[in-house]
Structure 1
Amino acid sequence: MNMKKIRNLTLAAGLCYLAGLAPAVHAQQKPNIIFIYADDLGYGDISCYGMKKIHTPNIDKLAKQGVRFTNGYATSATCTPSRYGILTGRYPWRQQNTGIAPGDASLIIPTDHKTLPGMLQDAGYHTAVIGKWHLGIGAPGTTIDWNADLKPGPLEVGFNYAYIMPATLDRVPCVFVENHRVVNLDQNDPITVSYKHKVGTDPTGKENPEKLRMRTDPNQGHNQTIVDSISRIGWMSGGNSARWKDENIAGIITQKAIDFIGQNKTTPFFIYFASGDMHVPRYPNSQFRGKSGMGLRGDAILQLDWTVGQITHALDSLGLTKNTMIVFSSDNGPVLNDGYLDQAVELVGSHKPAGPLRGGKYSSFEAGARVPLIVKWPAGIPKAAVSNTLIGQIDFYASLAKLTGQPIADGDAPDSYDMLQQLLGKSKVDRPYLITQGGPLSIIEGDYKYITPSKGPKVATDVNIELGNHPSAQLYNIKKDVFEKENLAEKEPARVKAMAEKLSAVKAAAGSR
């Protein structure tokens, strides 16, 4: 859908809904909650965290009206496990098969435990997931039939409504799924997907590079079925009427979020809005292409900022701004070349996507999991603040349970801490400790970070990112040495021993608040 049309629809929706809204808003006490979850956005990629080359005014406005955290973390340095952690309140490494999911993965989130959206359903919320899912669909051990009902999926783990890209942007099938069905699917053109062998006769990037709008890195394998002139990981045939156009993804999912807001304006709602903008393949709408001066990755950051502006404008138009909590964050740190040669490396210039941090996506160093984190809620956060409190995305489960008065059953959200007062800027007490996952696990406690020994490569040469692997222990004072230059392990063996034992104890336990 054209971005200009979406903007006009947003304005029209606001005018239509606003007239009869005021009594319902005043009657509602629980805040609406919107998570805006960016993909591969680095700590230094937005203006309020230090970006100088381009401006992100709509995201910056959230920070100017809320709490901006400088020590906020995803659970992991890659996408699938971080998404698992935020929705379950459970460290993803506690469960098998929570690594980066293939496009035909079965549902990773267990259906026998309450999730964050499920807990909010119990509190009377209407819940929606819109955008990138990448947490699997279907029962374990079964093969997905993309032409039938797709379940279990988001609706079976706490969402009332789903409009998703089922995997991620560089993996087939490149279709939207609404609730249990592929959108716009022609049953006479059924979808077949395989990650083991070629299916159908669609051209592939490997066989037909002349059909591509952007070249792929020959070392990274994004050379299978071509969809929208871009080759992907995996093979797909059929479903031609259902296939997305990459430049329209942001506009479509933004409009779906605005529609859900309008439809649920008189009751509390929760939206988990997962943008795919910075994830490869990057091909933002023509409204943004060429505008950043930093190539398609920079253009995608501008598009993400536009999305934030559209959502906040819709809230303003509907009179919902004051009692809506907006959480903005990212699933992991940045990566430039991640399979497609789109000039992200050549045009980055002096910009540092990770800001002052070392590493990036996939890394155990700080840039892997330390990410932007902003919370805005005018009714609950009357004064803007910057907080250096140690906090994790995994803590939203327990914190929002406290906010909405919901109990947490034994076994649910075992690793989530109630950090509500910190989220509201009323406390600066750190989380007792936090475990993050690059390759090896790390534990952060106070000013220090311990990275467990590991035998992997020191650098992922295909993406040019330091991974943090080392055969012996690493210890950093990340308050004084945020770039993790000086390994203090030999100087402070007692601290290394204590933190290693703490990590082992947490791993052995089921988790506790």
Structure 2
Amino acid sequence: MVALAITPALIPASLSAAEGDKPNVIFIYADDLGYGDLGCFGQKRIQTPHLDQMASDGVKLTSFYAGCTVCRPSRLVLWTGKHLGHQPINDNKPYTMQSSDFTLAKLMKQQGYVTGGVGKWAMGTPGSGGEPIYHGFDFWCGYLDQSEAHNYFPTHLWRCEGDKCEKLPLEGNVLMGDKKPENRVAKLDARKTYSHDVMTKEAFDFIRRNQDKPFLLHLHWTLPHANNEGGRVTGNGSEVPTYGQYKDKNWPDVEKGFAQMVTYLDGSVGQLRALLKELDLEENTLICFTSDNGPHNEGGHNVNYFDSNGPLKGFKRSVYEGGIREPFVAVWPGKIPAGTESSTTFNAYDVLATYAELTGAKDVPKNDGISFLPTLLGKPDPQAAARISYSSFNKWEAARWKDYKAVRKGPNQPLELYDLSVDIGEEHDIAKDQPAMVEKLTNFMAEAKD
């Protein structure tokens, strides 16, 4: 893929924020949420009224792709605007953000934004130099080490501000990673501190502190990722304070917990929108919601129980559609036409370019993204309609051009080809019938790593 440098010529004056007030930006990156987990994307049993309303009030992108099919590289793609052909990792091996990495948070700080985030960072352990405060964020509260990010009742989170990161103790919780069963068992009536609630409060406090300034806020909430060691309170990988409205359902406990995780996440989105309305920030704030990769099949949860990948094939750790294609909704009252939808292909590596166009940024370092702001605003974008999207995981690769999707399971493996317009489930390999398209996407995959 030819990497794009965002230049002033690519920024239509009508879309640039340079002529008026800069909008606030809130970007929500759920963890292991599937394409089919939201009501507005076809879910029937799990309740997501607030995200469904957000889709009704704004736009759905139905062909939006995560940066990767697993967490850490997916975040690296998002932060840097570079796809996996131009990244040092394409799996969950440890990685520390480098000082040379230009991030979307650095871009927004250059544009005069206060920058904050909560949730899973995954780009550097404490003391490594990879902490968010060294890479464009004024504030972060959550998990720095990815290995600790899936315990919802940890002893502490990390609160980073200024030039230091400090532990934020969470009252009453057991040690992170403690394998002793006696330390991981608690009665349901012995309430402890749920990390999601702490991070949500910190995020809302950030908004209140900065309501008179343009701000960027990334909400990398960890719901509905499983606690793969088994929940300390619920006894399974779907770790929630209670099963909520699902407690009397005739479902396995782990599935009650999973459903409540998704609904709990949805409730936080509702609280967020209510706060923006209370502070009179609603019309000057763009909110985007998506997920870091496809649905998980871990911690006792069965990905098929709620049809979490909807009509798509595969799930987390697969480059078939179910592993990388995500629900995406965005709202910006008065700017994004309500109740709209686009099937144009976009990717997490387009977020940095979108921020650049939104804020009128110039001289942005070379990256692989194109802005999806015109599409959000309901404007035609021939450049976006003609681009090729790329992803990989270990030795697997995938590319999409228009409705054609290619998958290759290794360097010496044949290319599989699917026409998603008639085969969204990737069931019928048409490579033998489309040699020209196979050649086109094979060449692209080679060029993507240059």
Length-normalised TM-score, structure 2: 0.82
1:102-113 aligned at under 5 Å gives the runs: 105=94, 107=96, 109-113=97-101
> 1:56, 1:178 → 2: CA distance?
30
Question: Which residue number in structure 1 is paired with residue 347 of structure 2?
Answer: 392
Q: Of 391, 405, 427, which residue of structure 2 is paired with 1:436?
A: 391
CA, structure 1 residues 271+59, in 2 after alignment: closer, same or farther (shift >3 Å)? same
SS at match of 1:490: helix
- 2:423 is aligned with 1:481: yes
> 2:291, 2:108 → 1: CA distance?
21
Question: Which residue number in structure 1 is paired with residue 259 of structure 2?
Answer: 298
Q: Following TM superposition, by how much is the alpha carbon of 1:291 offset from its aligned partner in structure 2, in angstroms?
A: 4.2
Question: Which residue number in structure 2 is paired with residue 454 of structure 1?
Answer: 410
1:373-388 aligned at under 5 Å gives the runs: 373-388=328-343
> 2:389, 2:178 → 1: CA distance?
46
Question: Which residue number in structure 1 is paired with residue 8 of structure 2?
Answer: none
Q: Following TM superposition, by how much is the alpha carbon of 1:487 offset from its aligned partner in structure 2, in angstroms?
A: 0.4
Question: Which residue number in structure 1 is paired with residue 374 of structure 2?
Answer: 421
> 1:58, 1:450 → 2: CA distance?
35
Q: Following TM superposition, by how much is the alpha carbon of 1:65 offset from its aligned partner in structure 2, in angstroms?
A: 0.9
1:216-227 aligned at under 5 Å gives the runs: none
Q: Deviations over 1:215-240 (max 9, x none)?
A: xxxxxxxxxxxxx89xxxxxxxxxxx
> 2:168, 2:341 → 1: CA distance?
45
Q: Of 31, 34, 39, which residue of structure 2 is paired with 1:39?
A: 31
> 1:264, 1:325 → 2: CA distance?
15
> 1:432, 1:404 → 2: CA distance?
23
Q: Deviations over 1:55-83 (max 9, x none)?
A: 20111111011110111111211111111
Q: Of 157, 170, 191, which residue of structure 1 is paired with 2:150?
A: 170
Q: Deviations over 1:258-286 (max 9, x none)?
A: 10110000111010100111111131223
- 2:123 is aligned with 1:131: no
Q: Of 239, 247, 272, which residue of structure 2 is paired with 1:283?
A: 239
Q: Following TM superposition, by how much is the alpha carbon of 1:99 offset from its aligned partner in structure 2, in angstroms?
A: 2.4
- 2:138 is aligned with 1:182: no
> 1:433, 1:55 → 2: CA distance?
34
CA, structure 1 residues 171+81, in 2 after alignment: closer, same or farther (shift >3 Å)? farther
> 1:382, 1:394 → 2: CA distance?
24
- 2:404 is aligned with 1:404: no
Contact 1:398 1:408 in 2 (8 A): no
> 1:445, 1:184 → 2: CA distance?
46
SS at match of 1:328: strand
> 1:497, 1:438 → 2: CA distance?
21
Q: Following TM superposition, by how much is the alpha carbon of 1:290 offset from its aligned partner in structure 2, in angstroms?
A: 4.2
> 1:361, 1:247 → 2: CA distance?
28
Question: Which residue number in structure 1 is paired with residue 202 of structure 2?
Answer: 256
Contact 2:159 2:165 in 1 (8 A): yes
Q: Following TM superposition, by how much is the alpha carbon of 1:203 offset from its aligned partner in structure 2, in angstroms?
A: 5.7
Question: Which residue number in structure 2 is paired with residue 366 of structure 1?
Answer: 321
1:292-331 aligned at under 5 Å gives the runs: 293=249, 294-331=255-292
> 2:85, 2:178 → 1: CA distance?
37
Q: Following TM superposition, by how much is the alpha carbon of 1:287 offset from its aligned partner in structure 2, in angstroms?
A: 6.8
Q: Following TM superposition, by how much is the alpha carbon of 1:161 offset from its aligned partner in structure 2, in angstroms?
A: 0.6
CA, structure 1 residues 135+289, in 2 after alignment: closer, same or farther (shift >3 Å)? farther
> 1:505, 1:92 → 2: CA distance?
12
Instruction: Between the two structures, name the one with larger relative contact order (CA 8 Å, sep ≥ 6).
Output: 2
1:48-63 aligned at under 5 Å gives the runs: 48-63=40-55
Contact 2:98 2:130 in 1 (8 A): no
Unaligned runs of 5+ in 1: 1-26, 138-145, 194-201, 214-227, 230-244, 456-469, 509-513
Q: What amino acid maps onto 1:507 in structure 2? A: K
Q: What amino acid maps onto 2:204 in structure 1? A: I
> 2:78, 2:95 → 1: CA distance?
19
> 1:203, 1:162 → 2: CA distance?
25
Q: Deviations over 1:316-352 (max 9, x none)?
A: 110111111000000000013x2x33xx239x64x31
CA, structure 1 residues 369+434, in 2 after alignment: closer, same or farther (shift >3 Å)? same
Q: What amino acid maps onto 1:158 in structure 2? A: G
CA, structure 1 residues 258+292, in 2 after alignment: closer, same or farther (shift >3 Å)? farther
SS at match of 1:436: strand
Contact 1:389 1:428 in 2 (8 A): no
Structure showing greater radius of gyration is 1
> 2:344, 2:20 → 1: CA distance?
30
CA, structure 1 residues 442+302, in 2 after alignment: closer, same or farther (shift >3 Å)? same
SS at match of 1:51: coil
Unaligned runs of 5+ in 2: 1-18, 228-237, 250-254
Q: Following TM superposition, by how much is the alpha carbon of 1:171 offset from its aligned partner in structure 2, in angstroms?
A: 7.2
Length-normalised TM-score, structure 1: 0.73
SS at match of 1:261: helix
Q: Following TM superposition, by how much is the alpha carbon of 1:399 offset from its aligned partner in structure 2, in angstroms?
A: 1.5
> 1:71, 1:59 → 2: CA distance?
17
Q: Of 132, 137, 151, which residue of structure 2 is paired with 1:159?
A: 137
Q: What amino acid maps onto 1:417 in structure 2? A: I
Contact 1:247 1:286 in 2 (8 A): no
